[in-house]
Structure 1
Amino acid sequence: MTDRASARAAKTALAARLAADPGVAAVGLARQDAEYVVRVDLTEAGVGSRVPRDVDGVRVVTHVIGTVRPL
């Protein structure tokens, strides 16, 4: 089971790696199946192939949320 500290470290590393990718809307933490995972919100499904499935042993999940626009 992944603890929160490990997940935070993985999130920081992945956020830095994906910072310049225009298809990535957000990188955060989530609870899934009783453990912490890194959640990556994407603007389109095709971007998911560029996101690793795990970072330093922490599982990464992706969700397509569409284009983000200001209100």
Structure 2
Amino acid sequence: MTDRAAARAAKSTLAERLSGDPGVVGIGLARRDSGYVLTVNLADATAAPRVPGDVDGVRVVTEVIGTVRPL
């Protein structure tokens, strides 16, 4: 089980690691099972191999949502 504080710390690490990657359009936290995971939103599936499966023991899940555009 990962608590919110640990997930937030891991999110900062992951955001720094993936900053500037054009395939990554968002990074967040989500509750899964009995703890927290990091979520990485991707523009397309080609970015998925660059995303680690976990950061500091916090599981990372990816989802392809497409390109984010302003309204």
Range into which the TM-score falls when normalised by the shorter chain? over 0.9
What is the CA–CA distance in structure 2 between the aligned matches of 1:14 and 1:59, rounded to whole Å? 11
Runs (4+) of structure 1 exceeding 3 A deviation are none
What is the CA–CA distance in structure 2 between the aligned matches of 1:51 and 1:19, rounded to whole Å? 11
Return the TM-score normalized by structure 1: 0.96
Q: Given the alignment of the two structures, is residue 60 of structure 1 paired with residue 60 of structure 2, yes or no?
A: yes
Structure 1: gaps (5+ residues):
none
Number of matched residues? 71
Q: Which residue does the alignment assign to 2:35? A: 35
What is the CA–CA distance in structure 1 between the aligned matches of 2:33 and 2:48, rounded to whole Å? 21
Structure 2: gaps (5+ residues):
none
Q: Which residue does the alignment assign to 1:15? A: 15
State the identity as a percent.
Answer: 68
Compute the displacement of 1:32 (Å): 1.1
Compute the displacement of 1:34 (Å): 2.0
Return the TM-score normalized by structure 2: 0.96
| RMSD, matched Cα | 0.6
Give CA-to-partner distance per residue, 1:30-51, whole Å, 9 cap, x none.
1111210000000001101100
Q: Which residue does the alignment assign to 1:26? A: 26
